[in-house]
Amino acid sequence: MLPRIPSIYRGILTLVGITLLLFMLLMQGNRPDTVSLRRLEIQNEVVGSAKIREEFGMEKSTANIRTTLRTIKETVRYQNTDTRNIVNPHNFSYLKNPVNICSEKDIYMITYIHTSPKNFHKRQTIRSTWGDKRLLEQYKTKIVFVMGRVEDTKVMNKLDLENAHYGDIVQEDFLDSYKNLTYKGIAALKWISNYCNNTVFTLKTDDDILVNIFKLVKHLKEIVEFQLGHKNLILCNQWLRMAVLRDKNSKWYIPKEDFTPDYFPPYCSGSAFVLSTDMTSRMYNASLYEKFFWVDDYYITGMLPSHIKVKQKRLNEAYILNGRVVYDKLVNDTKNQLMFFHVPKLNTIFSMWRLIKQRLQMHIQEEFTWSPVVSPSTVV
């Protein structure tokens, strides 16, 4: 029995539709700019498998699957650059990766701190003072500690316990050493680009820096955003015409073959600086095309901003980097300008932090009228 006419038409239309679909997929697959996206679709299909979860260190929760997919998308975005010219790939794997630190909405600032795995007491001091989680929540700020690995298994095991408790450590699989500080800086830029790019500002400090977080956030909200906005910014203690050391006995010796000029172009003190967070992905991408240079302060705050044609904004009056006079400078800071203090002794950090809080409590009504309002009872 012959089929009815409508059935024949339906069959023909279905066959034509399938043919057109296959043709479109074939044409799309041959386009260079869609290769990464097709690869991403395949990864999306299999990301729930046990093998993929193991490879990416994933939990089975939906939230972590979404986070990992976001990581893949970010990786694809960087892979879409011209890989033929990459001279400094950053392919280290994560040993510790707190992917959900910035999962909340309306986070104002992410702070990342350069630290060494063995510097547990310095991290604890920060967590107990200006980096206290309860305090930072009032200012919509998050904090992570960035580091590499060490060969000492006792230190690494202790670090596992610390991270299990606090969950604020970003660790990549490079050797944590002085000559690898540039890797640490790039690691931070990459991590923030992938997991914390929803913030307005990014603060970088070392683990021997005390930050007047009250003054800093107030300055960013009331001065910086009003005068400069919150894009294309790097605020810092800017160095001008810093001499390149040629003394072979110096820790900072740089031979001519590594760096020809006798003076560095402008760059920032690496002790502390502030970026508008839009800078992090651009600087990370620039690092792929800038040859590795072990002087991290210059590489991160000089070479990379120069690559993307952004100049540093001077904030020099906010810094005291001489540890011998730092306490006295805070005591005599009648203009309330200081925000960043290099403090070598941990006990001094606690003393200075108490003084900063006392001053805040004395002037809370006249100084902190912006939201959030912090009362003396809530200051940590």
Three-state secondary structure of 203-231: EEEECCEEECHHHHHHHHHHHHHHHHCCC
pLDDT bin (cut points 50, 70, 90) of residue 335 is confident
Environment class of 126 (CB within 10 Å of its CB; exposed 0-12, middle 13-18, buried 19+) = buried
Angle (CA) 10 16 19, round 5° = 140
pLDDT bin (cut points 50, 70, 90) of residue 258 is very high
How long is the chain?
380
Question: What's the whole-number average pLDDT of the chain?
Answer: 83
Same domain? For 230 and 259 the reply is yes
Same domain? For 26 and 54 the reply is no
Same domain? For 200 and 288 the reply is yes
Same domain? For 134 and 71 the reply is no
Q: Would you say residue 38 has pLDDT above 50?
A: no
Same domain? For 321 and 200 the reply is yes
pLDDT bin (cut points 50, 70, 90) of residue 235 is very high
Prediction pTM value: 0.77
pLDDT bin (cut points 50, 70, 90) of residue 334 is confident
- If you average pLDDT over each of 16-30, 54-68, 82-96, 193-207, which comes out highest? 193-207
Task: Provide mean pLDDT across the span 220-236.
Answer: 97
Q: Would you say residue 135 has pLDDT above 60?
A: yes
Task: Provide mean pLDDT across the span 336-349.
Answer: 96
Range of lowest pLDDT (77-86, 276-285, 305-314): 77-86
Task: Provide mean pLDDT across the span 165-177.
Answer: 98
Structure confidence at residue 12 (pLDDT): 57
What percent of the chain lies above the pLDDT cut of 90?
A: 70
Q: Would you say residue 309 has pLDDT above 70?
A: yes
Which strand (E) or helix (H) includes residue 272? Answer: strand 267-276
Structure confidence at residue 125 (pLDDT): 98
CATH code: domain of residue 280? 3.90.550
Pairing label, strands 313-314, 169-175: unpaired
Q: How far apart are CA 201 and CA 148, in angstroms?
A: 24
Structure confidence at residue 15 (pLDDT): 65
- Is residue 89 assigned to a domain? no
- Is residue 145 assigned to a domain? yes
Structure confidence at residue 36 (pLDDT): 36
Contacts of residues 250-259 at CB distance under 8 Å and 24 or more positions apart, as own/partner, are 251/178, 252/295, 254/295, 258/293, 259/293, 259/295
Task: Provide mean pLDDT across the span 27-42.
Answer: 37
Q: Would you say residue 336 has pLDDT above 60?
A: yes
In this structure, how many other beta carbons lie within 10 angstroms of the beta carbon of residue 93? 12
- Is residue 320 assigned to a domain? yes
- Is residue 52 assigned to a domain? yes
pLDDT bin (cut points 50, 70, 90) of residue 18 is low
Q: What is the pLDDT of residues 52-99, one digit of tens each?
A: 333 434 443 444 444 444 544 444 444 455 667 899 999 999 999 999
Range of lowest pLDDT (58-62, 181-185, 328-332): 58-62
Q: Would you say residue 244 has pLDDT above 80?
A: yes
Residues 6+ apart with CB under 8 A from 311: 234, 266, 305
Q: Indicate the number of domains in the chain.
A: 3
Same domain? For 222 and 272 the reply is yes
- What's 34's DSSP letter? G
Residues 6+ apart with CB under 8 A from 151: 175
Task: Provide mean pLDDT across the span 347-359.
Answer: 95
Same domain? For 72 and 209 the reply is no
Task: Provide mean pLDDT across the span 340-361.
Answer: 95
Structure confidence at residue 361 (pLDDT): 86
Q: Would you say residue 176 has pLDDT above 80?
A: yes
Range of the domain at 11: 1-30
pLDDT bin (cut points 50, 70, 90) of residue 40 is very low
Same domain? For 137 and 15 the reply is no
pLDDT bin (cut points 50, 70, 90) of residue 13 is low
Same domain? For 200 and 320 the reply is yes
- Is residue 35 assigned to a domain? no
Task: Provide mean pLDDT across the span 318-346.
Answer: 95
- Is residue 86 assigned to a domain? no
Q: Would you say residue 32 has pLDDT above 60?
A: no
Position of tokens 């707190």? 98
Same domain? For 146 and 76 the reply is no
ω into residue 6 within 30 of 0, thus cis? no
- Is residue 327 assigned to a domain? yes
Same domain? For 189 and 287 the reply is yes
- Is residue 87 assigned to a domain? no
Among 53, 80, 107, the domain boundary falls at: 80
Same domain? For 190 and 54 the reply is no
Q: Would you say residue 35 has pLDDT above 60?
A: no
